[in-house]
Chains A and B, each alone.
Chain A
């Protein structure tokens, strides 16, 4: 019997990626049951489709945050500043969206100007997070400051800076902007019943996120870059002795992580809503980290984790619509409580890349 258990256990551990995915799917079903229980089966097909589509939208920033976390931590750098990075990108994206639109709308016409301004805004937002990521990298890699502290500094800096710029320039007398990215419907695939409207009628960032998940998964497990990244996060000295430039790879990976966080950040102001509020990221950066832990530092696992949390959010919204008698605050608490439960009940122990959190000392 114990031999069987041992085999089962090691089999589970070996395929932990898939186990996580399966458990995640089970979690989704459980949440679904909860939803139906609470609103008493009043959710018809259209409601289901809408909820799921909304879920995928909510998943986008969380998944980007998780992907940023995956790349950084796999390289050995803990990044808890993702929340601040996303906030910065949101503000910068919002600001540039307005700015560029105002500059171009007369010469290019409203629609073209809007498209251009949104793309420029996205790029500038990503640039701002790359700068923050660079700061985090320098402080924690070169100056060897404790990475948790360094990430906190990023968060505080972002809060302060965005708050300041917002109050100083963006709170009053703001001209009209071009609005958020429009929904893009993929021609053939969106007509597939049920799945079509959920997966293939989304805004651009969501598509980018889905592609990114699978792309990064491939990169991490099938390419030299991925092999080296995993090595420097587990045993940097071993990689170093074999000629891998640990410090350089860590820098570059953290910067790429910044790109991902930036994409997640601009989602707030370029896809979700057309305004910026201080602190509007509301903890999604941290939820992204929880999704990463849930997913055992794999991109696909993180996506599943993000879906669970995203589902929590949209279930919240749906419950609020159908049951106005429940004080809105309780459903709103759901995603956060869910995060805590998931965090504590993760399969086995969450073992992070062995060298994450430790600055690398070349002798």
Chain B
């Protein structure tokens, strides 16, 4: 019996790195096959090859036992492979129907001859979308504009887009990254339905828990090589983690008991609008004391970004108050926030945290270039900045050929280290860390977790915002769950139970009532 999809000996190199090294990968018909690996292991590369976005340097791909060559996504689609990317391939201002028919447009009968000038037949496509929606239990509204849809709905549109093109093999890249645990469960139900109707599914993830819960087969990749395949029944989290990283991984951060002191940050009734003028932060109150880590759990898109931006002066506060050590900072500029000894590790390191074309040295001084000893008045003393940068690169083990190298050429982990070095080596009273380990390899994650704990132990108040529940649970002393702009509940970390947090993240309160 042939496999639905079989890849053998796939090798792909990019300048300086071998992303895939003689990888063998096979998916049986009707199975849910998880591809596991940490960031940078090569899973996305493999999938992109299967989807025709990259061409392998060598190796063979077979579909239903027949060797095929996939030269473009169009090819892949023709051969029945559909992919749902981590960052959706949806054109925001267009409707669901328009997105689905893009590239394969239905034309109003009679106008076909005009080809590219013919009239689009929205009606027909919308009808087919509704059919598929019912068949697979994927709820979508054909005439909705994509940018108005929630993330989960957008994901369903992506899936229907693949099914519309008769995909038999569906590849899902980190599908649960943007979903609540409950939405993730719904997705797994959908996956079972699809598989029950004859489809085969590959999903890429780095989350051990869901892999064990929902996959039929697990393949683990590490550093470009396929380490092996196991059935969930034969493995546990520790074994998988070891396969992923190659050594015993500290799944839990080693930290001492917290010793909180006075309150540093007080937020009262905060209200903040997002870019679309919706209330993203809706009456949030919280407190963070020196020497403790408060973790805000929640799926992205529930106002955490706007909360962090409001706290750091990057977004105007519409209502409520923020107090930093008794002083009101509700309308402080980012500079004043920095000067009140607040450090901020931003969510998007390349957009907000670094100037990619500047050197490592310049980025080390990004927030402090105007203060002594770096500058007296107008003039900058670059020798002082040089010295400091060298020291920090050494201390934080930033892998860079030189401090004058542009920071854009560093790896993600090293870029984040630059930011962490910069933010934690000033006097810190309040640290706001927003998704600090997103997209990083395990080594960097461990390092940064340690730095955050150290900051706490040195007396800083730490506000940690993360969509990774594991990270929140292992680092926080207290946990607050944010849902649709509100803090639903705040509890001590030691009292927190995973399932309960998951429910809160989906808006289900203790008494079972949905918010």
Residues of A at the B interface (CB closer than 8 Å) are 6, 9, 219, 222-225, 227-228, 230-231, 234-235, 237-244, 354, 363
Report yes or no: B91 in contact with A241, Cβ–Cβ below 8 A.
Answer: no
The one of A230, A235, A241, A242 in contact with B104, judged by C-beta atoms closer than 8 angstroms, is: A242
Identify which of B74, B98, B103, B105 gathers the most chain A CB atoms within 10 Å of its CB: B103
Tell me the bound Cα distance from A56 to B160 in angstroms: 48
Report yes or no: B73 in contact with A241, Cβ–Cβ below 8 A.
Answer: yes
Report yes or no: A230 in contact with B91, Cβ–Cβ below 8 A.
Answer: yes
Tell me the bound Cα distance from A241 to B88 in angstroms: 11
Instruction: Tell me how many residue pairs across A and B have CB atoms closer than 8 Å.
Output: 78
Residues of B within 8 A of A6 (CB): 277-278
Residues of A within 8 A of B98 (CB): 227
Report yes or no: B120 in contact with A224, Cβ–Cβ below 8 A.
Answer: yes
Q: Is B1 an interface residue (CB 8 A)?
A: no
Residues of A within 8 A of B105 (CB): 224, 227
Report yes or no: A224 in contact with B93, Cβ–Cβ below 8 A.
Answer: no
Mark B100-114 against chain A: 1 for CB-CB distance below 8 A, else 0: 011111010000001
Residues of B within 8 A of A363 (CB): 48, 53-54
> Can you identify 23 A-B contacts, CB atoms within 8 angstroms?
A6-B278, A223-B118, A223-B119, A224-B107, A224-B115, A225-B117, A230-B94, A231-B94, A235-B91, A237-B89, A238-B88, A238-B89, A238-B91, A239-B102, A239-B103, A241-B73, A241-B89, A242-B74, A242-B103, A243-B72, A244-B102, A354-B92, A363-B48
Report yes or no: A242 in contact with B92, Cβ–Cβ below 8 A.
Answer: no
Q: Is B432 an interface residue (CB 8 A)?
A: no
Nearest Cβ distance between residue A354 and chain B, in whole angstroms? 7
Residues of A within 8 A of B74 (CB): 242-243
Residues of B at the A interface (CB closer than 8 Å) are 48, 51, 53-54, 72-74, 77, 83, 85, 88-94, 98-99, 101-105, 107, 114-120, 277-278
Report yes or no: B94 in contact with A243, Cβ–Cβ below 8 A.
Answer: no
Tell me the bound Cα distance from A354 to B99 in angstroms: 16
The 10 nearest A-B residue pairs measured at CB: A242-B103, A243-B74, A238-B89, A241-B73, A225-B116, A224-B105, A243-B103, A235-B91, A234-B91, A231-B91
If A242-B73, A243-B74 are given as contacts, then 5 extra A-B residue pairs at C-beta distance below 8 Å, sorted by A number, are A222-B120, A223-B114, A223-B118, A228-B102, A244-B102
Residues of A within 8 A of B277 (CB): 6, 9
Nearest Cβ distance between residue A178 and chain B, in whole angstroms? 35
Nearest Cβ distance between residue A55 and chain B, in whole angstroms? 31
Given contacts A228-B102, A231-B91, A363-B54, contact A219 B117 (CB under 8 A): yes
Given contacts A228-B102, A243-B73, A363-B53, contact A223 B91 (CB under 8 A): no
Tell me the bound Cα distance from A231 to B54 in angstroms: 22
Identify which of B85, B89, B107 gathers the most chain A CB atoms within 10 Å of its CB: B89
Given contacts A238-B89, A242-B103, A243-B104, contact A227 B73 (CB under 8 A): no
Residues of B within 8 A of A222 (CB): 119-120
Tell me the bound Cα distance from A227 to B117 in angstroms: 11
Tell me the bound Cα distance from A224 to B98 in angstroms: 10
- Nearest residue, chain A, Cβ from B103: A242
Identify which of A225, A227, A234, A238 gathers the most chain B CB atoms within 10 Å of its CB: A238
The one of B73, B88, B102, B117 in contact with A231, judged by C-beta atoms closer than 8 angstroms, is: B102
Residues of A within 8 A of B90 (CB): 235, 238
Residues of A within 8 A of B119 (CB): 222-223
Nearest Cβ distance between residue B482 and chain A, in whole angstroms? 22
Residues of B within 8 A of A234 (CB): 91-94
Identify which of A6, A223, A230 gathers the most chain B CB atoms within 10 Å of its CB: A223
Nearest Cβ distance between residue A2 and chain B, in whole angstroms? 9
Residues of A within 8 A of B117 (CB): 219, 223, 225
- Nearest residue, chain B, Cβ from A219: B117
Residues of A within 8 A of B99 (CB): 238
- Nearest residue, chain A, Cβ from B105: A224
Tell me the bound Cα distance from A6 to B279 in angstroms: 11
